[in-house]
Structure 1
């Protein structure tokens, strides 16, 4: 699970996504899902597993989902696609809730995704 769906499950945004957002490695077949409405994002295979954790969707059933730090970095990277307001609205709650450990995770994830130049000014602005 990724994008807006993961941001909502991490309670980083108040929006209720109109579709379920899932990620698949770039170069693989995109799944055909008739219901519920689904948006498929493709990520580079080398970064596909970065920041993945398990989320309990139902008792005894878990699904892979990007962790909060990865979601915030991806939201900032893709802010032209998902909207800058949504991306910035996820950053504030993440920084307030995650404390120092969370703040230190952002540069690590951003470095791995070559997005440090995008994350650093936004984090500094929110923390100022």
Structure 2
């Protein structure tokens, strides 16, 4: 399992900052983002997930990116959608990550942790139910079709509407649109 390093954590691998930079120049480490390094030859991993998790331990895959992870949409997100608690500092980073600030009071609703394959890191991800609810409540930003199509696919796979309504009831502006959509679809 590959150990992700930053200049401030290089000492955990027995390297000084300058030794990490030399190891990168020598080809022993690969720079995957500004200030984030993986050993050369590390197994395949999603570099955007690694960057988000390294920059913010509470980073959580959300919206279209979470729906794509669960194969509930055919839409390929232009950037990795990552939620962080509202009021947090949005990290500087690559344009391949879209940072979204979600209310602290509801941030952990439907949130799970998953391992990032090929690394020693984990990243948060919202459940399918939370992702659908967020799609409906933020449909002006994400698009109306994405949430509707994800809901149809989720129901086709045997999703439980009661669980979806339970999650939606904990989020602002989600319960009403989801109830109307479920009435229209069933």
What TM-score does the superposition give when structure 2 sets the normalisation length? 0.63
- Cα RMSD (Å) of the superposition? 1.4
Which runs of at least 4 in structure 1 moved beyond 3 Å after TM superposition? none
Q: Which has the higher contact order (CA 8 A, sep 6+)?
A: 1
Partner of 1:43: 102
Higher gyration radius (CA): 2
Which of 114, 134, 142 is the equivalent residue of 1:55?
114
> 1:64–1:34: structure 2 CA closer, same or farther, 3 Å change rule?
same
Once residues 71 and 98 of structure 1 are traced to their aligned partners in structure 2, the CA distance between those partners, rounded to angstroms, is 16
- 2:86 pairs with 4, 26, 45, which one? 26
How far 1:110 sits from its partner (Å)?
0.8
Task: Extract unaligned runs of 5+ from structure 2.
Answer: 1-60
Q: CA deviation at 1:46?
A: 0.6
Please give the TM-score of this superposition, normalised by the length of structure 1.
Answer: 0.90
- Counterpart among 97, 104, 120 of residue 162 in structure 2: 104
Structure-1 residue corresponding to 2:51? none
The separation in 2 between residues aligned to 1:84 and 1:25, in whole angstroms, is 24
Pick one of 43, 64, 71 that aligns with 1:4.
Answer: 64
